[in-house]
Structure 1
Amino acid sequence: MEVDAEINAVRFRWTGQPTGEEFRYGANQLLEFVRSRAVAGLLVDARNVTAHQRSSIEWLVREWMPEVAAAGVEYVAVVHEDDLIARTEMEALNERFRQAETAPLFFPTDAPADAREWIAERDRSTTSLYHIGQYLSSLQLFSFS
């Protein structure tokens, strides 16, 4: 995990195929890292993940993504393998995020450069109320608590 300050995003790469438990653990570690940084974007490289368990996807959509959104993440790009299974899975996940009440914008792609550019475009064109609030709060003029 690292912060890409140029695009105001955290970059995360799965290095292998996680079990359901490993997936939740890794995703929760990523969530804690995101919470400790004030970033609007998340770029996940999932090219080493061949498939997700249905229960992991349900957990991701219902529990994890709302937490990511609450942490201030506004957009997520996921780089997947260039194959039919990965594309189909990411398209289904994208549809689930669109239907969710609380979820960042989602962009699945098989091209790392496209993912980074998509996040950079969002960062350039979106002024985040979350980040404005954090800045104003840091001035100690008032508190959000």
Structure 2
Amino acid sequence: MPTQTAVDAEKYTIEIDEDIDAILFTWDEFAAGQEFRDGCNELLEVIRRNDKSKALIDTSGIRAHDDEDKRWLQEEWIPREIEAGIEYSVSVHSDSVISEMEMEEFVDQTQDLPFTYVMAGDRQEAREWLDEQ
């Protein structure tokens, strides 16, 4: 079954992939501050409406988040993502060394949380990992 588009915004797309029972979130363009937070919060709404426990976050189209947004993700958004029902989350990062280092640091910071968060080098690898969960 092909994916179903839930949201097609200017800077991101949110899809439902019934084949792997997951929500797919793709950042198409860089966003920061309130615009970034609005996109993340819309993802939470789609997760809740569709009762999914798996998410694929594709950030391969952007290079890095600013420090304030990273802090917000860690301190506020990730706990809300878990509360919404996410048990497994995988992020696809860009080919940038800076982006990869940033993602590795983020994964390390989530190790003590009650969900599994990993990184993948490409979308296919991420889908395969989620399909196994």
Scaled by the length of structure 1, the TM-score of the pair is: 0.79
**AA matched with 2:125:** D
Aligned residues: 120
Equivalents in 2 of 1:54, 1:35: separation in Å? 27
2:28 alignment partner in structure 1: 15
Q: Does 1:90 pair with 2:103?
A: yes
Pairing of 1:97-108 with structure 2 (within 5 A): 97-99=110-112, 101-102=113-114, 104-108=115-119
Structure with higher strand content: 2
Q: Which residues of structure 2 form unaligned runs of 5+?
A: 1-13
CA RMSD for the aligned pairs? 1.1
Aligned to 1:44, what secondary structure does the other structure show?
A: strand
Which structure has more helix as a fraction of its residues? 1
Separation of aligned partners in 1, 2:89 and 2:107: 10
Matched ranges for 1:1-145 at <5 A: 1-99=14-112, 101-102=113-114, 104-122=115-133
Structure 1 outlier segments of 4+, above 6 Å = none
In the TM superposition, residue 97 of structure 1 has moved relative to its aligned partner by: 0.8
TM-score for both structures, normalised by structure 2: 0.85
Unaligned runs of at least 5 residues, structure 1: 123-145
Per-residue deviation at 1:61?
A: 1.2
1:72 Cα offset (Å): 1.0
Q: CA deviation at 1:6?
A: 1.1
Q: Is the 8 A contact 2:63 2:96 kept in 1?
A: no
Paired AA for residue 68 in structure 1: E
Q: Percent identity?
A: 34
